[in-house]
Amino acid sequence: MAGQKMLKFTQVDRDMPEKRPPNLRKQDFGEIYAEYARDKAAEQASRCSQCGVPYCQTHCPLHNNIPDWLRLTAEGRLEEAYELSQATNTFPEICGRICPQDRLCEGNCVIEQSGHGTVTIGSVEKYITDTAFEQGWVKPIRPHAERSESVGIIGAGPGGLAAADLLRRQGVQVTVYDRYDRGGGLLTYGIPGFKLEKDIVMQRMAQLEEGGVQFVLNCNVGDDLSFDAIRGKHDAVLIATGVYKTRDLPDATAEGIVDAIDYLTASNRKSFGDDVPEFDSGELNALGKRIVVIGGGDTAMDCVRTAIRQGAESVKCLYRRDKANMPGSQREVQNAEEEGVEFVWLSAPNGFEGDPVTGVKVQKMRLGAPDATGRQAPELIEGADYVEGADIVIKALGFEPEDLPKLWGVDGLEVTRWGTIKADFGTGATSLDGVFAAGDIVRGASLVVWAIRDGRDCATAMLDYLGQAADVAAE
């Protein structure tokens, strides 16, 4: 019977949830995709080929059991589908919204390779967990037994929260320290609402708090509280700060040249109704201005699409390679183009005019011979320079780690030559006893789903560490 409900990819076409028209969606920060109805989710899940070697699962950092929860969805067994989905993923409703499925699970779907169009895995994943919240299937965190050991987690982003969830379910006492006034990190302040509405993040924060996770917010480690004090208070510590230092450009000091993280944070704070003076003054508000975003990753896409919604006069994205070679999601590029963003391909900044800024000096490029990775290297076209007018220039060139040993005054915390924390590949253990690290601060700027994976792996390793420490103490 189950087989009859699957393998329908030759009879049923791929059908994404309805996307709001660009002229409507660019007027607000609401999510752009509608929710599947129950029958449509079942229909799209039934397209799964149930292949013997599920490449979708292999290419998911969390190795989610995708074929099985698609089958359960097709059979109408949604609560079981949710239970299976959340068994490997702390935040499936978030991954369903913001994972670049076109590069991960969906991009490696067998039926996509055969020309039938991939299964809409992300949309079904989102539907399953949203339904679970609506139906009350998402249970409170209730450990079977409380443990005396405590863990301090520095950073309330996806990696830190994933670890907190797993540790708390095992009865460990968990305290999370974060520099911001709300938990969620990048999920709350870095990713715009049109990709991830903030009530989705806040409902998970509420679940963690109700489950006994303690949050110490507005806490800058190194200033408000020393790292040594946190270490002395807990049996183990997890560093999950992420990477927030923006890669810079030469001579980018003029007024009006801003960092992407500052721009996105200001916009997200306004969505919460916060008082944001730098937004109200116009410094971080695109209304009526010519906006130029430099970069080609997902952060750049977030910036250009935010500027459109703020009512910019024009929004242009400069990227030094062509569309096929940009690192950001092609789905996001398409959404941005539909909303009125102009992409200026094969273009690189070569300085700025004015203070406050009035323009970006642009060098035109062409793609030359492939580099060591096989990617074509951009080459300068002599004599093709021009000036792109701009009132705000947003640097979205990626992020680098802060110098944590210096910032926190920590001796013995080893870092790599890139400034990331040196940690064991499997456990996240650092050079300091009882100190672990997870997420971008270890692997460099990466995806939310990888941070969740790292946080879960670290939590498992920390439980082993706490158990071994308890055995030694008992002896």
Kindly list the distances between the CA atom of residue 169 and the CA atoms of 79, 139, 175, 474, in Å, as whole numbers in the listed order. 20, 11, 14, 23
Contact in structure between 387 and 360 (CB atoms under 8 Å): yes
Is residue 141 helix, strand or coil? coil
Helices (H), 155-297: 158-169, 186-189, 198-210, 227-233, 260-271, 277-280
pLDDT in tens, the chain (475 residues): 444 677 677 778 788 899 999 999 999 999 999 888 889 999 999 999 999 899 999 999 999 999 999 999 999 999 999 999 999 999 999 999 999 998 899 999 999 888 889 999 999 999 999 999 999 999 999 999 999 999 999 999 999 999 999 999 999 999 999 999 999 999 999 999 999 999 999 999 999 999 999 999 999 999 999 999 999 999 999 999 999 998 999 999 999 999 999 999 999 999 999 999 999 999 999 999 999 999 999 999 999 999 999 999 999 999 999 998 888 888 899 999 999 999 999 999 999 999 999 999 999 999 988 888 888 888 999 999 999 999 999 999 999 999 999 999 999 999 999 999 999 998 999 999 999 999 999 999 999 999 999 999 999 999 999 998 666 565 5
- Tell me which residue has tokens 């998402």: 138
Instruction: Quote the pLDDT of residue 470.
Output: 60
Compute φ and ψ for 392, nearest 5 degrees: -135, 130
Contact in structure between 135 and 141 (CB atoms under 8 Å): no
For 111, half-sphere exposure in the C-beta direction (CA atoms, 13 angstrom radius) is 24
The contacts of residue 281 (CB under 8 Å, 6+ apart) are none
Instruction: Quote the pLDDT of residue 474.
Output: 59
- Cα–Cα distance measured from residue 234 to residue 240, given in angstroms and rounded to the nearest whole number: 16
Kindly list the distances between the CA atom of residue 236 and the CA atoms of 130, 174, 474, in Å, as whole numbers in the listed order. 34, 10, 18
Instruction: Quote the pLDDT of residue 15.
Output: 86
Q: Report the largest interatomic distance among the alpha carbons of the chain, rounded to a whole angstrom.
A: 76
- Cα–Cα distance measured from residue 474 to residue 388, given in angstroms and rounded to the nearest whole number: 69
Query: Can you say whether residue 346 is alpha, beta or left, with left for phi > 0 and alpha for psi between -120 and 50 degrees?
Result: left
Instruction: Quote the pLDDT of residue 377.
Output: 85
- Cα–Cα distance measured from residue 307 to residue 284, given in angstroms and rounded to the nearest whole number: 10
Amino acid identity, position 42: A
Compute φ and ψ for 423, nearest 5 degrees: -140, 150
Domains and their CATH numbers in the chain: 3-135 (1.10.1060.10), 150-243+401-474 (3.50.50.60), 248-397 (3.50.50.60)
Both tokens assigned to 86: 């959340």
Instruction: Quote the pLDDT of residue 176.
Output: 98
pTM: 0.93
Instruction: Quote the pLDDT of residue 28.
Output: 96
Both tokens assigned to 62: 């969390």
Tell me which long-range contacts 67-70 makes (C-beta under 8 A, separation of at least 24): 69/124, 69/125, 69/128, 70/6, 70/45, 70/119, 70/121, 70/124
Both tokens assigned to 284: 């971080």
